[in-house]
């Protein structure tokens, strides 16, 4: 870890207010990257609020939104992010074979056309820096404008999360080994 993470007793009033807001939210605890973001309390406050919206209040159930998150974690080879969201994806009902395929950079077999579309959109955002017209049209038809906007939000937010975790070298919990190479 490249950064000293503050305990609540070491935080300024602004930092502590953001920290307290995060533990009062749906997560019940501060998201790991927020502990780095607290160096900019206002950014931490807004980023954590956005993260809560994207994690819990999109139009997608967890087994679909976690596709975009895992594609992002894999794109950035974000070890901590992968570790955390693999568990959440499994809890949300995602098949282990889908997770393994994303980890191995293979296109998964999806039963749900929405899952495949979310995967295709997320991959295109990261690798192609946008969506070609045909993919865009298909995504709008299947997911709607709100769905496309929310997939962009998930990929963008979790890119910031991945960059934070990678830059400050957040470590996996004791005894855990990264699956990503």
pTM: 0.94
153 touches 161 (CB < 8 A): no
Please count the residues of the chain: 181
> Helices 133-167 and 41-56, interaxial angle, to 10°?
130
Place of tokens 């974000």: 78
51 touches 157 (CB < 8 A): yes
Spatial separation of the C-alpha atoms in residues 164 and 35, rounded to whole Å: 10
For each of the chain's 181 residues, which pLDDT tens digit applies?
888 888 999 999 999 999 999 888 888 888 889 999 999 999 999 999 999 999 999 999 999 999 999 999 999 999 999 999 999 999 999 999 999 999 999 999 999 999 999 999 999 999 999 999 999 999 999 999 999 999 999 999 999 999 999 999 999 999 999 999 8
Cα distances (angstroms) measured from residue 105 to each of 27, 76, 161, 179: 29, 12, 20, 12
Q: What is the dihedral of CA 97, 116, 172, 129, to 10 degrees?
A: 140
């Amino acid at each position: 870890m490249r950064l000293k993470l503050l305990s609540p007793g070491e935080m300024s009033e602004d930092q502590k207010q953001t920290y307290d807001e995060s533990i009062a939210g749906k997560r019940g605890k501060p998201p790991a990257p927020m502990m780095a973001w607290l160096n900019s309390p206002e950014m931490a406050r807004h980023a954590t609020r956005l993260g809560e919206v994207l994690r819990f209040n999109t139009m997608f159930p967890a087994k679909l939104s976690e596709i975009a998150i895992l594609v992002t974690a894999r794109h950035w080879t974000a070890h901590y992010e992968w570790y955390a969201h693999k568990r959440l994806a499994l809890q949300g009902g995602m098949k282990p074979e889908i997770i393994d395929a994303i980890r191995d950079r293979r296109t998964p077999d999806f039963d749900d056309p929405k899952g495949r579309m979310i995967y295709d959109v997320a991959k295109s955002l990261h690798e192609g820096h946008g969506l070609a017209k045909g993919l865009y049209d298909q995504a709008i038809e299947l997911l709607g404008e709100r769905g496309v906007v929310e997939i962009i939000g998930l990929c963008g937010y979790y890119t910031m999360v991945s960059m934070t975790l990678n830059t400050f070298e957040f470590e996996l919990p004791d005894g855990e080994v990264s699956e990503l190479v």
